Amino acid sequence: MFNLRRLGVARRLMLITGSALIGLAMLLPALLWSERELLLSEREASVRQTVEVAHGLVAHFHAEVAAGHMDDAQARKAAQAAVRKLRYSDSEYFWINDMGPRMVMHAIKPELEGKDLGDIRDPNGKRLFVAFVDQVKSEGAGFVSYLWPKPGEKAPVPKVSYVKGFAPWGWVIGSGVYVDNLNAAVWRR
């Protein structure tokens, strides 16, 4: 049987210190994972809140139709213009697609507007806009993870988007945040 009393003070201190360091080394991955999950949930909450704002803006224009202040076509056009201008976190933007899925409005890629998006896939084969529509059909709103290039870049990176349906017009309103830099953010903290 191992007896600590037989060891000298210096060796006992080294053993205790070594045991503590091994314990910390075993805890570090769990702490880092927990920190990463916390950052991800903060980003998800942020994007959800911003989509709720955009959804409220669209609902405002729909209410203008109900109040007789605008016709439906004017309200849709005004809602698209208002959502197109919205930005947060410096460069994050919104898009609106219908349940087709056809792009109604994309703030930074207007060339997509009017196009059928059913066949747009990320590198893993996920049909992005079909996934957005499916999420809205099944739960009304929610998160979808996929790969998409950052503005001005070609290489797709991990992104998570929140989408919410606007039933009166058959729209899916969405925005996303890139999560490729979560690990670097954890190490900075």
Q: Work out the average pLDDT over 58-77.
A: 97
Secondary structure of 114-143 as H, E, C letters: CCECCCCECCCCCEHHHHHHHHHHHHCEEE
- Which of 28-32, 75-79, 88-92, 137-141 shows the lowest mean pLDDT across its residues? 28-32
Task: Please say if the pLDDT value at position 183 is more than 70.
Answer: no
Q: How far apart are CA 111 and CA 106, in angstroms?
A: 8
Task: Please say if the pLDDT value at position 34 is more than 90.
Answer: no
10 assigned to some structural domain: no
Q: What pLDDT, on a 0 to 100 scale, did the predictor assign at position 145?
A: 94
Q: How far apart are CA 88 and CA 94, in angstroms?
A: 10
pLDDT digits (tens, 9 = 90+) for 104-148: 999 999 999 999 999 999 999 999 999 999 999 999 999 999 998
85 assigned to some structural domain: yes
The token duo for 176 is 């996303």
Task: Please say if the pLDDT value at position 35 is more than 60.
Answer: yes
For residue 167, give the CATH number of its domain: 3.30.450.20
Q: How far apart are CA 70 and CA 92, in angstroms?
A: 29
* Residue ranges in the chain assigned as alpha helix (H): 9-66, 72-85, 128-139, 182-188
| Residue 157 three-state SS | strand
Which range marks the domain in which residue 124 is found?
46-188
Percent of the chain scoring above 70 in pLDDT:
93
Q: Work out the average pLDDT over 52-64.
A: 98
35 assigned to some structural domain: no
3 assigned to some structural domain: no
Q: What pLDDT, on a 0 to 100 scale, did the predictor assign at position 25?
A: 79
- Count of structural domains, the chain: 1
pLDDT digits (tens, 9 = 90+) for 131-140: 999 999 999 9
65 assigned to some structural domain: yes
75 assigned to some structural domain: yes
